[in-house]
């Protein structure tokens, strides 16, 4: 079984981003970038499936700036076999990424596509779902457990009320949630080995995909600052504030 995994290069989750002074977006100049954490979980899951003898090949995909090669190298060091970079410095929205993945899917014909449930920069939570729609394939989003057997995937999903387990036929699209696994640390020997693995570099035009953005960002603002808390004298004062100031009861 071949698995295709999508990995995005995003601002590291420890970085506190700042809004640009012209409010056109967030400033990512000289900011630490890393693999989207949910994508790391997706790569780890693919590697575990390979180690269990269920998968035979793992292909990792990324779309974005040339530096996304570093992200792909990390995925190769975790245990992926080869990589595909669709290189562009243009803005990529989820629909464009889903179309690029659709084109790569058609070339590679994997039995499973793993993505993160969302990218922590745009928080869209759309790409996996759009890909499933474009390919007309079954999807299981927010996966916290995946087992593969007899051409099917049993997926436990994190839903609002708790956990839901569904069975979907392969080929399918699965998006990873936080509790699916804990990604391993990348070891130095594996980083060295990853340097020898192949990264195919393509342009969106090579795949015949139009990546023109369909959405326009009007303005980006910082969230409102939280005001300091106050100590209340007693329960009656608290109830009074909740009723008359916050108006929540």
Q: Given the rule CB under 6 A, which residues bind ligand AMP?
A: 6-8, 36, 38-39, 61-64, 92, 94, 97, 115-116, 118-119, 122, 124-128
> Is 171 within 8 Å of 184 (Cβ atoms)?
no
| CA of residue 30 relative to chain centroid, distance | 22
> 103 pairs with which residues across the strands?
none
Nearer to ligand AMP, 5 or 77 (CB): 5
**Residue 224 Cβ, how far from ligand AMP at the closest point, in Å?**
24
Nearest CA to 240 out of 226, 105, 248, 175 is that of 248
**Residue 187 Cβ, how far from ligand AMP at the closest point, in Å?**
24
d(CA 164, CA 27): 39
Nearer to ligand AMP, 36 or 192 (CB): 36
Give the HSE-up count for residue 241: Cα atoms under 13 Å, Cβ half-sphere.
10
Nearest CA to 196 out of 67, 73, 71, 44 is that of 73
**Residue 19 Cβ, how far from ligand AMP at the closest point, in Å?**
19
**Which residues fall within 8 angstroms of residue 107, CB to CB, at 6 or more apart?**
none
**Residue 128 Cβ, how far from ligand AMP at the closest point, in Å?**
6
| CA of residue 181 relative to chain centroid, distance | 14
**Residue 98 Cβ, how far from ligand AMP at the closest point, in Å?**
8
Nearer to ligand AMP, 127 or 181 (CB): 127
Nearer to ligand AMP, 39 or 81 (CB): 39
Nearer to ligand AMP, 15 or 241 (CB): 15
Q: Which residue's CB atom is positioned nearest to ligand AMP?
A: 116
> Is 157 within 8 Å of 140 (Cβ atoms)?
yes
């Amino acid at each position: 079984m071949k698995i295709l995994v999508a990995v995005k290069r995003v601002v590291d989750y420890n970085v506190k981003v700042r809004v640009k002074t012209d409010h056109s977006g967030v400033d990512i100049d000289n900011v630490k970038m890393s693999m989207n954490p949910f994508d790391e979980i997706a790569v780890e899951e693919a590697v575990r499936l390979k180690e269990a003898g269920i998968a035979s090949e793992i292909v990792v995909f990324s779309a974005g700036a040339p530096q996304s090669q570093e992200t792909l190298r990390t995925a190769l060091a975790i245990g992926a076999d080869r990589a595909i970079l669709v290189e562009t410095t243009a803005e990529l929205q989820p629909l464009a990424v889903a179309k690029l993945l659709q084109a790569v899917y058609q070339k590679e014909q994997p039995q499973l596509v793993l993505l993160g449930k969302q990218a922590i920069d745009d928080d869209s939570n759309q790409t996996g779902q759009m890909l499933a729609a474009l390919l007309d394939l079954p999807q299981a989003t927010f996966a916290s457990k995946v087992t593969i057997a007899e051409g099917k995937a049993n997926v436990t999903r994190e839903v609002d009320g708790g956990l839901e387990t569904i069975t979907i036929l392969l080929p399918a699209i699965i998006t990873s949630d936080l509790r699916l696994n804990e990604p391993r640390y990348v070891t130095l020997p594996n980083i060295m080995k990853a340097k020898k693995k192949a990264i195919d570099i393509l342009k969106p035009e090579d795949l015949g995909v139009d990546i023109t953005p369909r959405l326009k960002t009007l303005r980006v603002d910082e969230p409102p600052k939280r005001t300091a808390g106050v100590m209340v004298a007693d329960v009656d004062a608290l109830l009074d504030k909740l009723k008359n100031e916050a108006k929540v009861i």
